Structure 1
């Protein structure tokens, strides 16, 4: 019987490339031997071998277009087929096997299969979560780029809603980018920001202070009327920070000054 189906990119797809099919065949062969050896190994040794196997195979599955639901499904298929072969062995062997032996095998084999699925799922989700976190970090960094206008002047255009998490990311990313590019002036354009709350303002002030400590002067431009009004209502004071109404004008002045 064939339990495979077609899904492009999946390791388990019936139309998987020959090299993928061969790798899966080798992994399954190792898996069969791993399960069989649980009948003679201690539980501690079994767990160690399982974790080694699942760490590697989980990484392989994440690399491909193989979902966790497919893994779970094929785990059930494997369990079904495995026990069919156990049944076939019991029916055909000349060895003296009793019911107690079979139930002893059941406890060890099913423990192994359950532990494989548990450790595989945990490792699979760890890898996926790590990748998502890395991608989210990259997206946040790309969403707050410091654009180098000259050797000494940088521009940070902020667009959209800024919550506390994004404000924190802006602080960290901007500080590193400004230091790496060795600028002395950073223009922070807020024309694309429609709302600023107290927590976000505090993060922006912290960014300005941090930049000042590393020798970078900050100029705020494009503060929208509604943002300014909200800032006044919240008691936010921009008095210690240079502000300009027009990004174009301040860029022109600074470029001419540093030429």
Structure 2
């Protein structure tokens, strides 16, 4: 009987919170009106989850909360807002809802055990909200940085079409494994799309040629040849030539030049 009475009181608190969820969602203001409008729907959702946690101890609450955390994190990343925004919101509505629970518990003369049970369950939900938002935000943020880095790397390895059948890839900076993969993808994709007969890979601005870099370049050359595209290397400085010799690299069947100008001149004559 006491259990049924407590459940009825808890349901009353849940309904009381839900009746005011729209009002609560507008209490916290941001200067940017657009951001304010986009934050309100997930505030309402958070208040709904908080309210349900008062009267139910269902694992579905946590599943809903996890999905909410992903949505919020994605919104923050899209709006370029810091994680602190979500954490402040979670904390703010913890206090708003917590105050309602406290006042209603007083009015309904909850026992200490009953109040502890309710507030503990509520705090677990709040802690889970912090956990899922933080985890999802860091994942989304890392993915966004990775995508941006990939886009920058891709733009830094362009295939420049100088005639209908001749293209140039001017490499700049260190060629790590990731950029080597982009070099392969861009060379094959654009070489095929442009229907190139020749592709000049200019190494003048590549500071270091080691075994890994040389191996990647040779793989690109081999793949391009399978497409019927001839490859010329330019920008072979003295130190690069010496490094290649020291590494025992066989350049016998690869045409090389010290400058891009010489390579372009050669290819124009050969084409």
With structure 2 as the length reference, what TM-score do the two structures score? 0.82
1:43 to 33, 58, 65: 58
1:175-194: per-residue Cα shift (whole Å, max 9, x none)? 22222222121011112223
Q: Is the 8 A contact 2:256 2:263 kept in 1?
A: no
Identify unmatched segments of 5+ residues in structure 2.
Answer: 1-27
Q: Is the 8 A contact 2:225 2:231 kept in 1?
A: yes
Shift of 1:59: 1.8
Looking at structure 2, the residues matched to 186 and 138 of structure 1 have their Cα atoms a distance apart, in angstroms, of: 22
1:208-245: per-residue Cα shift (whole Å, max 9, x none)? 00111111110011201001111111212222211123
Q: Is the 8 A contact 1:38 1:112 kept in 2?
A: yes
**What residue is the counterpart of 1:189 in the other structure?**
202
**What residue is the counterpart of 1:5 in the other structure?**
none
Root-mean-square deviation (CA, aligned residues, Å) is: 2.0
SS in structure 1 at match of 2:80: coil
Higher-helix-fraction structure: 2
**What residue is the counterpart of 2:99 in the other structure?**
84
2:227 to 201, 214, 230: 214
Matched, 1:104 2:135: no
1:15 to 31, 40, 45: 31
Looking at structure 2, the residues matched to 141 and 152 of structure 1 have their Cα atoms a distance apart, in angstroms, of: 22
**What residue is the counterpart of 2:74 in the other structure?**
59
SS in structure 1 at match of 2:54: coil
Q: 1:109-120 maps to which residues of 2 (within 5 A)?
A: 109-120=122-133
Which deviates the most, 66-75 or 134-143? Answer: 66-75
Matched, 1:248 2:261: yes
Identify unmatched segments of 5+ residues in structure 1.
Answer: 1-11
Shift of 1:77: 2.9
Aligned residues: 244
Q: Is the 8 A contact 1:195 1:226 kept in 2?
A: no
Q: Is the 8 A contact 1:194 1:224 kept in 2?
A: no
**What residue is the counterpart of 2:242 in the other structure?**
229
User: CA 1:30–1:89 in structure 2 vs 1: closer, same or farther (change >3 Å)?
Assistant: same
Q: 1:19-38 maps to which residues of 2 (within 5 A)?
A: 19-38=34-53
SS in structure 2 at match of 1:141: helix
SS in structure 2 at match of 1:72: helix
**What residue is the counterpart of 1:144 in the other structure?**
157
Q: Is the 8 A contact 1:140 1:169 kept in 2?
A: yes
Which deviates the most, 165-174 or 133-142? Answer: 165-174
Which deviates the most, 148-157 or 174-183? Answer: 174-183
**What residue is the counterpart of 1:69 in the other structure?**
84
User: CA 1:68–1:151 in structure 2 vs 1: closer, same or farther (change >3 Å)?
Assistant: same
With structure 1 as the length reference, what TM-score do the two structures score? 0.85
Looking at structure 1, the residues matched to 173 and 261 of structure 2 have their Cα atoms a distance apart, in angstroms, of: 20
Q: Is the 8 A contact 2:166 2:196 kept in 1?
A: yes
Shift of 1:96: 4.0
User: CA 1:43–1:173 in structure 2 vs 1: closer, same or farther (change >3 Å)?
Assistant: farther
Matched, 1:133 2:146: yes
